[in-house]
Amino acid sequence: MRLSQFIVQHVDRIVDEWEKFAKTIQPAAQSMDREGLRDHAKEILLASARDMTTSQTKTEQAAKAKGVGPEKTPTLDQAAASHGELRHNVGFDLVQMTSEFRHLRASVIRMWVSSLKSPDLDYFQDMIRFNEAIDEALAESTAAYAEQVGRSRDIFLAILGHDLRAPLQAVSMSTELLMRKVGLDELALSYISRIKGGTRHMGAMVRDLLEFVRSRLGATLPIQRKPMELASACREAIEEACAGQPECDPTFEVNGDTHGEWDRGRIDQLLQNLIGNALQHGANSHQIRLTLSADETSVTLTVHNFGEPIAADAIGTIFDPLVRSASEELGHPSTSLGLGLFIVKEVVTAHKGSIKVTSNRDDGTTFTVVLPKN
């Protein structure tokens, strides 16, 4: 009997074996009923059997073995993906989920071989096709499982970021009230100032975290365009970034009319991250230079600093989330989550603008942002 026929005729027996094995996976399977343990096994097996009976050239077979072929088995893929999602939801880890497919493969081959009366060359081809089908199912299940893991992590980060805002606000308000009290000596005021600065940094980190999670969960960065003047926003951002740093004295040059329609809150995020990045990585804060140049349709912002250049192989990932610089990795800590430049890119994209970076030891590092005026 051909393997595809054997699977169809004995599918319930095979699924019984699947159920017995799934029940041994503890503690996840401890509270699962029979239906949950047998989840999608029958659909995967029957779809595999159907796939084995379809014609396939040697070229198609070689492509499928490498995972590059266009051939797909919709029913098999859908059942396998659903299985991966559900196994994640009930608490199976990835190793436990993949072990089910290993056991399924072994069970089917063992049962089928024991039923054979005499060898046939076609049987070898059947085994190859069956293994291809199971590999496809495993790949789809693993991808769906990984996607669920990522989504669960993002939801956790969203809840964490949201819930952190309340205690941070309480700390911030308390420091404001303390600052207004009379009779505090200089040392006490310095302590309060440090608490206030730390709270501001943590608040920025929480905002960046929430924006990152928002993008990961598929939501675009919302903006509300209103008339504003970009030069004044830059001056305020420089003043805020340099608060508490007497040695901080960036140069700022404006050319042209910098009025336009942008989201002021998002622009502030962009400016704070770009200026903060230059202050953090610049060799000398006095050499940080900001330039605004405007024409009729757009405004170009450049932020320049000297310092250790960005490595050539890192330029392509500089705007990716959770990317830290080499200096930070080598023991120069910062309060950054590695999300600042990612947020900058998201703000620019939401405004339908562009951003690029150049960096070398002689010329320094320059971020160039072009924003349409409306």
- pLDDT value, residue 74: 77
pLDDT digits (tens, 9 = 90+) for 97-142: 889 998 999 999 989 988 988 878 788 888 888 888 888 888 888 8
- pLDDT value, residue 373: 95
> Which residue, among 108, 110, 131, 115, has the nearest Cα to 52 in the 3D structure?
131
Tally the C-alpha atoms within 13 A of residue 241's C-alpha that lie toward its C-beta.
24
- pLDDT value, residue 242: 81
Q: What's at 162, amino acid-wise?
A: H
Q: CB neighbours of 83 closer than 8 A, spacing ≥ 6? A: 39, 40, 41, 44, 137, 141, 144
Beta-strand pair 289-294/251-255: parallel
- Residue stretches of the chain with pLDDT short of 70: 61-72, 155, 158-159, 162-163, 214-220, 244-246, 285-286, 322-338
The pLDDT mean for the chain works out to 83
